[in-house]
Amino acid sequence: MVMQNDHNQAAHPNGTHRTGEENLAGRRLVVMSNRAPIRIVREGSHERIEPTVGGVGTTFLRLLEHHGGLWIAWSGGQKTPPRLPFPPGHPQFAMSFVQLGERDVSQYYYGLCNRALWPLMHSMISNCHFNGSHWRQYVLVNERFAERAVAEAGAGDAIWIQDFHLALTPAKIRARRSDLPIGIFWHVPFPPVELYMVFPWREELLAGMLGADLVGFHTHRYAAHFLDACERVLGAQVDRRSSEVYYHGRSTRVLAFPLGIPVDYFERLAANPATLERAARIRRALRSEIVVLGVDRLDYTKGILERLLGFERFLEDNPAYHRRVTLVLIAVPSRTKVTDYIMLKRQVDESVGRVIGRFSSAGWVPIRYLYTQFGAEELVAHYLAADVALLTPLRDGMNLVAKEFVASHPGDDAVLILSEFAGAAEELTEALLVNPYDADAVAKRIKEAIEMDPAARAARMRALREKVHDNNLERWSASFLHALAGDFTLEAHPASLASAD
């Protein structure tokens, strides 16, 4: 969630810094993603480069800066150079920009990616909008990315494709370059096959992904769903013991790699005197004994409306906590041109207004609503200022906010309430897990978190911090590259032997 540009490295348990580059065995790494990790800002006749990445993008920047290689992506703008050495002044690798026109952005990105695949992958069928022209543009853009990779990749390069925007790209590269190791990581959930089958181009999407040697997911459940889909939709042979799919004479390995965060980065920020002072100012400004925090992009998958209903129920059921508890709701603007998101913004505004109108009294306002995007320091200050994190996604690939919150509380003095439908819930079992659709359950969890014995609170957070440390961001990238290189024993986790659902 944090937009940070720090090029820190998390320490490997043996005391060395492991970024995954040793797993490439001399291969050049080619990273492919929809968006580039930088943007070119024009000010008059001058241009400057700004990083736009979060933790995952920072890891890839570090990999390429240390090892060399290439990043293929759309720049996010219309007028960009075809190639850019990076970092400026001391180039270690290159960025190769795929140009997207207005039709591409409208139909491929806002259309197929954001209005079809995004809700489908999050099991929200009612939000899906399927359009044949959007699909055709998606195919064309994936073809463009594949052509660029084929033109740029040298013999023996390794290609790591990111996310659902480029699902067809593996097979399109494979058709032209059978010599290249290809991996794709799916940063969102993968739905149960019964839901996936509503997608009109279900066969083509799966076949595109199976052009890779390795398909990675956040959790065993998502990997198992993908195996089910390959078996039932494509009729592919699936070996669940080895977690392999055999299709059209090739095999593809399907493994779980839970995404981590740069833990040391958050710990340094949390220990910074300026951040601590900012957290204290936030507490003083709120004038509240207990602070509950929710941080999300404003997205219908994040359960923000359900969180508000649960907090409202808590206030209804616990009048003794009026004027003592404040919910700080940070909603980061997202996809502001998409109709579903415009409607969600209106609903959240109305819900916040309703709760404030019902319960405000004597200078106390129960919700502080911040519709903005914070930098890393400000966000960590809010993490530190909070006693409870309330994260209630209806479906989430991982939810890195949960891990960031844990890493930002080295004093083990807070409680994490987490939706059982977040990918992180599979790891962070010491959190107070909750069904976000059940307002009564959310209200009870808030009360439980507030009243938890300090020793029990510390024990839970200590266990959570150990898990976040053990599976950090660098470990994630190293695990994937190990598996792509053919070592499936180290850090690689096959899907469960049976279907998850």
Task: Write out pLDDT tens, residues 423-478.
Answer: 999 999 999 999 999 999 999 999 999 999 999 999 999 999 999 999 998 899 99
Same domain, 249 and 280: no
Same domain, 279 and 368: yes
Same domain, 102 and 214: yes
Same domain, 478 and 430: no
Task: For residue 200, say if its preceding peptide bond is cis, omega within 30 degrees of 0.
Answer: no
Q: Which of 165-179, 336-350, 478-492 has the highest mean pLDDT?
A: 165-179
pLDDT for 25: 63
CA-based torsion, 134, 136, 137, 139: positive or negative:
positive
Chain-centre distance of CA 118, in angstroms?
12
pLDDT for 134: 98
Q: Which residues contact 329 (CB under 8 A, 6 or more apart)?
A: 294, 304, 307, 308, 352, 367, 368, 369, 370
Is 11 within the bounds of a domain?
no
Same domain, 303 and 161: no
Same domain, 255 and 373: no
Chain-centre distance of CA 457, in angstroms?
27
pLDDT for 15: 32
Which of 442, 334, 429 lies closest to 393 in space, CA to CA? 442
Give the span between the Cα atoms of 334 and 295, in whole angstroms.
13
Please check the confidence at residue 233 and state whether its pLDDT lies above 80.
Answer: yes
Residue 347 backbone phi and psi in degrees, to 5: -65, -40
Is 9 within the bounds of a domain?
no
Catalytic residue among 264, 296, 396, 493: 396
Catalytic residue among 165, 187, 382, 493: 187
pLDDT for 11: 31
Give the span between the Cα atoms of 133 and 112, in whole angstroms.
9
Residue appearing with tokens 């959930």: 189
One-letter amino acid at 367 equals: I
Give the span between the Cα atoms of 427 and 332, in whole angstroms.
25
pLDDT for 323: 96
pLDDT for 54: 63
Is 6 within the bounds of a domain?
no
Domain count of the fold of the chain:
2
Query: How is the beta sheet containing 432-434 ordered, strand by strand?
Result: 367-371, 325-332, 290-297, 388-391, 415-419, 432-434
Same domain, 53 and 100: yes
Same domain, 62 and 184: yes
pLDDT for 278: 97
Q: Name the more confident of 84 and 141.
A: 141
pLDDT for 23: 62
Residue 187 appears among annotated catalytic residues:
yes
Domain range enclosing 385: 264-469
pLDDT for 491: 40
Which of 208, 211, 150, 141 lies closest to 176 in space, CA to CA? 150
One-letter amino acid at 23 equals: N
CA-based torsion, 126, 131, 132, 138: positive or negative:
negative
Is 380 within the bounds of a domain?
yes
Is 13 within the bounds of a domain?
no
334 confidence band (pLDDT: 50, 70, 90): confident
pLDDT for 52: 67
One-letter amino acid at 7 equals: H
pLDDT for 494: 47
Residue 487 appears among annotated catalytic residues:
no
pLDDT for 90: 83
Measured CA to CA in angstroms, residue 412 lies from 71, 286, 397, 418, 459 at distances of: 39, 22, 26, 17, 8
CB 123 within 8 A of CB 395: yes
Same domain, 89 and 60: yes
Residue appearing with tokens 């997202």: 334
Cα torsion at 196, 201, 206, 210 (round to 10°)?
A: -170
